[in-house]
Amino acid sequence: MLESKFDVMLYVALCGSSEMFIESPRYTERFGSIRMNQVQKVVALDSGLKSELPPHGAMGVIKIDEETIKYYEDRMAIVIPVKDEKLKLFEGVVSGVPHDCLAIVVSNSQIKKVDRFRMEGDALEQLCRFTFRQALIAHQKDPAIAKAAMEAGYDDLLGEDGLVRNGKSEAMVIGLLMAKAAGKEYVGFVDADNYFPGAVLEYVRNYAAGFSLAQSPYSMVRILWQYKPKISGGLYFRKWGRVSEITNKYLNQLMSAKTGFETEVVRTGNAGEHAMSMKLAEVLPYASGYAVEPQELVFMFEGFGGILPSKDRKVMEQGIDIFQIETRNPHLHEEKGDAHLQNMLLSAMSTIYHSPLCDEEVKKTVLAELVNQGVLQEGETPPPVHINAPLKTKKYDELVRAIRDDFDKYQVLH
Taking the least distance from each CB to a copy of itself, the nearer of 59 and 114 is 59
| Integer Cα distance of 76 and 90 in angstroms | 19
From the CB of 23, what's the least distance to a copy of itself, in Å? 9
Instruction: Check residue 358 for interaction with a copy of itself (CB under 8 A).
Output: no
Taking the least distance from each CB to a copy of itself, the nearer of 75 and 354 is 75
* 106 contacts 82 by C-beta, under 8 angstroms: yes
Instruction: Check residue 336 for interaction with a copy of itself (CB under 8 A).
Output: no
3-state SS assignment for residue 221: strand
Taking the least distance from each CB to a copy of itself, the nearer of 78 and 172 is 78
Q: Which stretch binds a copy of itself (CB under 8 A): 58-66, 210-218, 299-307, 380-388?
A: 58-66
3-state SS assignment for residue 288: coil
Binding test (CB under 8 A) with a copy of itself, winner from 268, 329, 347, 350: 329
3-state DSSP: the chain helix, strand, coil percent, rounded to 5?
A: 45, 20, 35
Contact letters (x/-) for a copy of itself, 5-24, by CB under 8 A?
Answer: xx--xx-xxxxxxxx-x---
| Integer Cα distance of 229 and 331 in angstroms | 10
Taking the least distance from each CB to a copy of itself, the nearer of 17 and 216 is 17
What does DSSP assign to residue 326? E
What's the distance, Cα to Cα, between the start and end of the chain in Å?
56
| Integer Cα distance of 46 and 320 in angstroms | 28
Binding test (CB under 8 A) with a copy of itself, winner from 82, 199, 283, 367: 199
Q: What is the DSSP string of 152-189?
A: TT-GGGB-TTSSBPSSHHHHHHHHHHHHHHTT-SEEEE
Instruction: Check residue 43 for interaction with a copy of itself (CB under 8 A).
Output: yes
* 321 contacts 216 by C-beta, under 8 angstroms: yes
Q: Which stretch binds a copy of itself (CB under 8 A): 192-200, 236-244, 247-255, 284-292?
A: 192-200
Q: Which stretch binds a copy of itself (CB under 8 A): 127-135, 243-251, 297-305, 383-391?
A: 127-135
3-state SS assignment for residue 209: helix
The phi and psi torsions of 3 (rounded to 5 degrees) equal: -50, -45
Q: Furthest-apart CA pair in the chain: how many Å? A: 73
Contact letters (x/-) for a copy of itself, 266-305, by CB under 8 A?
Answer: ----------------------------------------
Taking the least distance from each CB to a copy of itself, the nearer of 57 and 217 is 57
| Integer Cα distance of 397 and 400 in angstroms | 5
Instruction: Check residue 53 for interaction with a copy of itself (CB under 8 A).
Output: yes
Q: Where are the beta strands (DSSP E) in 91-239?
A: 102-107, 135-139, 186-189, 218-226
Taking the least distance from each CB to a copy of itself, the nearer of 37 and 194 is 194
Write b or e for each residue in 204-222: b if 16 or more Cβ atoms lie within 10 A of its Cβ, otherwise e. Answer: bbbbbbbbbbbebbbbbbb
From the CB of 187, what's the least distance to a copy of itself, in Å? 14
Instruction: Check residue 229 for interaction with a copy of itself (CB under 8 A).
Output: no
Instruction: Check residue 51 for interaction with a copy of itself (CB under 8 A).
Output: yes
| Integer Cα distance of 365 and 378 in angstroms | 13
Instruction: Check residue 261 for interaction with a copy of itself (CB under 8 A).
Output: no
Binding site for a copy of itself (CB under 8 A): 2-3, 5-6, 9-10, 12-19, 21, 43-49, 51-53, 59-61, 65-67, 70-71, 73-75, 88, 92, 95-96, 98-100, 102, 127, 130-134, 182-183, 195-199, 201-202, 228, 231-233, 328-330, 332, 407, 411
